[in-house]
Amino acid sequence: MSINQERVAIITGGNSGIGFATVQKLIAKGYTVILASRNQEASKEAIERIHAATPNAKIESIPLDLASFESVRACASAFQAKEYPLHLLINNAGQMFDSKEGKFTADGFEMSFGVNHLGHFLLTNLLLENLKRSAPARVITVSSSLHDPELKQGPPADFDYDNLKAEKYYDAQVFYKNSKLANMWFAYELNRRLAGTGVTSNAVCPGFVPAAIGAKRKSPFSKFFFTQILARMPFARSLEEASDSYIGAATKPKFESVGGKFIVDGEEKESSIDSHDEEKARILWEKSLEWCGLDEAKI
């Protein structure tokens, strides 16, 4: 089969956690998978694990550091040089950059906002023509139910344009939630802008997945607490369940031409009132274009 007859997916952060569990399922479904990841050694190991289970799996790696616009542009160019179609883009990479003081991207943005939102905003826009040419195609952006201030779990999102670079204060949880609210605005606004193209955009929440969080914890106690205690709680989702949620949004026929939804546990779920604010989503889009140095007319 030539590459033009195959289904091709790019997933960011696909060499660990929920991303890797998703890659295993995409491979089982016959996708050619591109891991867009910042750690090439980890990607090499992930590819070896995939090949050990499925020797004929089609899986490749392209370097991507979402904390650098230059790296995001290089990643998109490297993919385009392959001249592959693109049917699925999963914007999965992201994390809470848990530190007392803010960390910043190469371009000066606070790390959660820069990596979780801006890096994906730029990557998706650079790949839009590839997606449109391969339609029907889907973009899945991984957000979190924590984007919703009504959830009342810790300090709520506080999306303030005068504090995006932590000029006023820094709180890792608030900035993570802000980035996940930005993911919602982006996913919904992208879907509006893609109307009629055959490309859809949805947001997904994998649920609370302690196995993924615990795997990266350095302290043995914290690792044990997440992977052995919290992972057994009824409210926790396993890597298997969380990746099923991505796979449902990415491949289920019922979501084929459905966009602008928040998908949790494989089903549409209502997202926060704020996430549906079209004016806020439009403003974020315009500002993100400017920050990323994108000219929409040329995309």
Ligand X SMILES: NC(=O)c1ccc[n+]([C@@H]2O[C@H](COP(=O)([O-])OP(=O)(O)OC[C@H]3O[C@@H](n4cnc5c(N)ncnc54)[C@H](OP(=O)(O)O)[C@@H]3O)[C@@H](O)[C@H]2O)c1
By CB under 6 A, residue 205 contacts ligand X = yes
Alpha carbon 137 to its chain's center: 16
By CB under 6 A, residue 76 contacts ligand X = no
Integer Cα distance of 21 and 36 in angstroms = 15
Q: Which of 172, 209, 231, 247 binds ligand X (CB under 6 A)?
A: 209
Q: Which of 15, 178, 200, 288 binds ligand X (CB under 6 A)?
A: 15
**How many residues does this entry show for the chain?**
299
Q: Long-range contacts made by residues 221-226, C-beta under 8 angstroms, separation at least 24?
A: none
By CB under 6 A, residue 213 contacts ligand X = yes
- Give the closest residue to 154 by CA, choosing from 129, 141, 173: 173
Per-position x/- string for 85-104, each x denoting binding to ligand X as judged by CB under 6 A, each - no binding: -------xxxx---------
Integer Cα distance of 159 and 164 in angstroms = 8
User: For this structure, is 31 an active site residue?
Assistant: no
Q: Which of 7, 25, 40, 42 binds ligand X (CB under 6 A)?
A: 42
Q: Minimum distance between the CB of residue 1 and ligand X, rounded to whole angstroms?
A: 29
Segment 125 to 144, residues that bind ligand X, using CB under 6 A: 142, 144
Q: Which of 102, 206, 214, 259 binds ligand X (CB under 6 A)?
A: 206
Q: Given the rule CB under 6 A, which of 3-11, 13-21, 75-83, 258-266 is the region that contacts ligand X?
A: 13-21
Segment 234 to 293, residues that bind ligand X, using CB under 6 A: none
- Give the closest residue to 61 by CA, choosing from 82, 81, 76, 40: 40
Strands (DSSP E) contained in 81-135 are 88-91
Torsion of CA 259, 195, 192, 66, to 10 degrees: 80
Q: How many residues bind ligand X (CB under 6 A)?
A: 29
Q: CB within 8 A of 58, min separation 6: which ones?
A: 6, 27, 31, 32, 33
Per-position x/- string for 46-65, each x denoting binding to ligand X as judged by CB under 6 A, each - no binding: ------------------xx
Q: Which listed residue (31, 161, 170, 176) is catalytic? A: 176
Count CA atoms closer than 13 A to 72's CA, side-chain side. 27
Q: Minimum distance between the CB of residue 226 and ligand X, rounded to whole angstroms?
A: 9
Q: State the catalytic residues.
A: 176
Q: Which residues bind ligand X (CB under 6 A)?
A: 12-13, 15-19, 37-39, 42, 64-67, 92-95, 115, 142, 144, 205-206, 208-209, 212-213, 216
